[in-house]
């Protein structure tokens, strides 16, 4: 009799576990579409980036007060756990971020449901888009002009607008610096793309709208793979040597800090 009760008890336990497992799987199913927000948190060598605040010192002993940090991000691609890529529609995939205005968050809309493990994007505007001409830029051309991200249409976009003042051992009076990096027409292409692992899956569905928090370390612009001394050259715009070096540095300043998975717009 005890054996019979034991068998029945085990059968009930198995059914319960199987049922719970199925419910868990159902709860975790992702359907429909959702929004993915990407928050660019600007910093300097591990510290929050506060404009008009001195005290940011690089490895070359230059002390920076940063007044402006704007950059263009574009051509977003999300890759899911199975390696499938969702390419965000190109005409909607250009954004100008600005620490000055606080406009440092972008929204990618109508993303297919899934578990995304990495994000890829460009820094700047690619030649394919630029070659479409002024009419082919849509509303982004106006946005770039309003955020000081254009030289002129013929000269092209500024991919990075980094400005402020600095002092150093050899420059004792506060001196203005300007780092404007971009492609200059079709002659010099400084457009770069990066791919960042998310660490935690970004879950997207009709009720899940994740926020990807990306840290952008402004220190890398001058103090990254290539060392750029403001004391030697405080203004860099169209420079066949240093502009490509800054482009490489800028592509290395982004890391994913964390992913917030949740419903709606809560952080």
pLDDT at residue 3 is higher than 60: no
Cα separation of 216 and 186, whole Å? 27
Cα separation of 159 and 164, whole Å? 17
Q: What average pLDDT is seen over the chain?
A: 88
3-state class of 6 per DSSP?
Answer: helix
pLDDT, average across residues 145-158:
87
14-64 pLDDT, tens digit per residue, is 444 443 333 333 346 899 999 999 999 999 999 999 999 888 999 999 999
CB-CB neighbours of 89 under 10 Å: 10
Residues of the chain with pLDDT > 90: what percent? 76
Closest by Cα among 148, 139, 216 to 182: 148
Q: Could you tell me the two tokens for 113?
A: 């449901």
pLDDT at residue 151 is higher than 50: yes
Cα separation of 162 and 222, whole Å? 10
Strands 254-260 and 211-217: antiparallel
């Amino acid at each position: 009799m005890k054996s019979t009760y034991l068998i029945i008890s085990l059968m009930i336990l198995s059914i319960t576990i199987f049922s719970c497992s199925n419910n868990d799987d159902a709860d975790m199913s992702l359907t429909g579409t959702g929004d993915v927000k990407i928050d660019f948190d600007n910093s300097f060598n591990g510290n929050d980036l506060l404009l008009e605040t001195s005290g940011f010192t690089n490895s070359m002993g230059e002390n920076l007060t940063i007044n402006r940090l704007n950059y263009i991000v574009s051509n977003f691609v999300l890759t899911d756990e199975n390696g499938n890529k969702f390419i965000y529609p190109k005409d909607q995939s250009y954004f100008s971020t600005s620490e000055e205005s606080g406009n440092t968050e972008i929204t990618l809309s109508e993303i297919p449901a899934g578990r995304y493990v990495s994000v890829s994007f460009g820094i700047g505007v690619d030649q394919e888009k630029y070659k479409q001409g002024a009419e082919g830029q849509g509303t982004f051309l106006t946005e770039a002009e309003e955020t000081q991200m254009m030289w002129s249409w013929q000269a092209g976009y500024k991919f990075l607008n980094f400005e402020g003042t600095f002092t150093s051992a050899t420059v004792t009076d506060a001196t203005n610096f300007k780092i404007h990096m971009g492609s200059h027409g079709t002659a010099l292409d400084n457009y770069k793309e990066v791919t960042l692992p998310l660490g935690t899956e970004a879950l997207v569905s009709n009720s899940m709208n994740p926020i990807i928090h990306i840290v952008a370390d402004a220190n890398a612009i001058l103090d990254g793979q290539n060392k750029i001394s403001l004391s030697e050259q405080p203004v860099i715009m169209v420079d066949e040597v240093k502009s490509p070096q800054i482009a490489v540095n800028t592509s290395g300043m982004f890391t994913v800090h964390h992913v917030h998975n949740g419903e709606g717009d809560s952080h």
